[in-house]
Amino acid sequence: MLTKLVFLVILSLASQCLTEEVTVSVKGVTSIANTDDNFVCATLDWWPVNKCDYNQCPWGKAGLLNLDLKNKILSNAVKAFKPLRIRIGGSLQDQIIYKVGKGVKHCRHFKRRKEGLFGFSKGCLHMDRWDQINGLMNETGAMVTFGLNALYGRKKSKSDDTLWVGNWNAQNARDLMNYTVSKGYKIESYELGNELCASGVSAKVTAEQYAKDIVELKNVVKELHPDPSSQPKVLGPAGFFDKKWFSTFLENSGQDYWCNGNLLLYEGNDPGLIDKVQDPFYLSQIAQTFKDISDIVKNFGPWSGAWVGESGGAYNSGGKDVSRTFVNGFWYLDQLGMSSTFNHKVYCRQALIGGNYALLNTTTFIPNPDYYGALMWHRLMGKNVLSATHNGSPYLRAYSHCSRDKPGITLLLINMSNSTTFDVSVANDENLYPDNMKCNGGMQREEYHLTPECGNLQSDVLLLNGTPLKLTESLDIPSINPELVDASSPIKVSPDSIVFVTLRGFNAPACA
């Protein structure tokens, strides 16, 4: 019996210590796609305190109308990106009235209304609050996308309770934009409506009508911003992808603007959520959607570009025990890597703060693990996307970009296996000399190993090269420094870990 027990223990330990050698081939000759310089984006939403799902109310005072805009951690977290792209919008944006101009007489705060969209009445943005929001944006240097109310002036169809008909009334938006210009506030882009395409979520608009309305918005933007060099972009439709609707919209719009969609893959209270976010086969299902959007933009709107306007992974405010923890980084960073390979220009994470999927803790504002993942991507991964492939386990994901602002390339390696360590060598696949592709670079490489505290995948404390990332005494974002490693040795990617690696000596003509 003793021998049998010892034998079983040895087998168990051995199964946890597997090592697989993998060669990742990076094609540095040409890029396969390009992102915007500010690819990483985070959202701020309108949800009030009483936005509740699954017997919880996870938004607290994180909605735009009650968020503490003077919180030092919030300010420092945004400043660290230099700059961070922020999308202001969400489900309730089509119920926001702007208290500006002569046309608005009644403007009240959100109330619970059974017959209202998403269970709420219309809400009000007063200009003193708009001043405060822009104060934070100006102080932190954020790039702002503002989502406009696209249902203003429309009425519900008599034959379809979710279809809204009639032309968009641009007057309230024009008044807000006029005020914004008069104050010198900088809005990088305007988005028309939220989740109104195809079958909609709570409301919808036909593709032909939406195309007509976005042309109207583009004309207003041109009128108020006559200088093309400072003219805000125009975005739409900010909804879930539907091939027929998007194609019709692009064919009818004929304008220079950016096409964005929303992606939510799971239900927030899904008991299998923790397994899905670390299952490479499940995560790969979204690849076809990224490709379809990219193809439609190329075929029907080559003047435009594709964005992911909102993605929190799990809808209804995220999964409370998963979305704010280390394990969610497998999904999030894989999404950044995958979408960039399909030429998506921007990826907006729902949310910067609020709900269970926030980059910052909704109550304390302390960064969650995905905040640091987003920050490292922003600082390390440039806009030129390179092909990175390997023939090893599907549980090892590999993405590569030209390094941001410095020579060489940066790799993102995601190990979703809980039992296998990958020893990764990097080959410069120039398709010229296939028998001589090993790349040592001739210098030290920079490694950033991300793991959860105590090995707990549901920890909200992230370790960088074994050290917890915590705010400084002055509430600043901590320094993010690499470990320097001999470039001739393989990159050791431990089970359940994420690694950024910068290779300065990698010869990549696409990065020159």
**Residue 115 annotated to the active site:** no
Count the helix, strand and coil residues of the chain and give each as a percent rounded to the nearest 5.
Answer: 30, 30, 45
Whole-angstrom distance, CA of residue 171 vs CA of residue 96 = 14
DSSP per-residue string spanning 7-40: HHHHHHHHHT-EEEEEEEEEE-SS-SEE--TT-E
The DSSP 8-state label assigned to residue 128 in this structure reads H
Q: In sequence order, what are the residues at sequence separation of 6 or more whose Cβ sits closer than 8 angstroms to the Cβ of residue 172?
A: 97, 98, 100, 101, 103, 104, 149, 152
For 384, what's the count of Cα atoms within 13 Å in the CB-facing half-sphere?
21
282's enclosing H/E stretch is helix 280-283
Task: Report the b/e string of 385-416 with b at 16+ CB within 10 A.
Answer: bbbbebeebebbbbbbbbbbeeebbbbbbbbb
The first and second tokens of residue 440, run together, are: 């040592």
The DSSP 8-state label assigned to residue 490 in this structure reads P
Which residue of the set 310, 430, 446, 447 is catalytic? 310
Residue pair 189/232 in contact by the 8 Å Cβ criterion: yes
**Residue 483 annotated to the active site:** no
From 40, 32, 63, select the one nearest 50 (Cα to Cα). 63
Q: Is the peptide bond before 77 cis (omega within 30 degrees of 0)?
A: no
Whole-angstrom distance, CA of residue 294 vs CA of residue 303 = 12
The DSSP 8-state label assigned to residue 482 in this structure reads P
Identity (one letter) of the amino acid at 461?
V
Residue pair 228/273 in contact by the 8 Å Cβ criterion: no
Which residue of the set 191, 195, 430, 447 is catalytic? 195
Catalytic residues: 195, 310
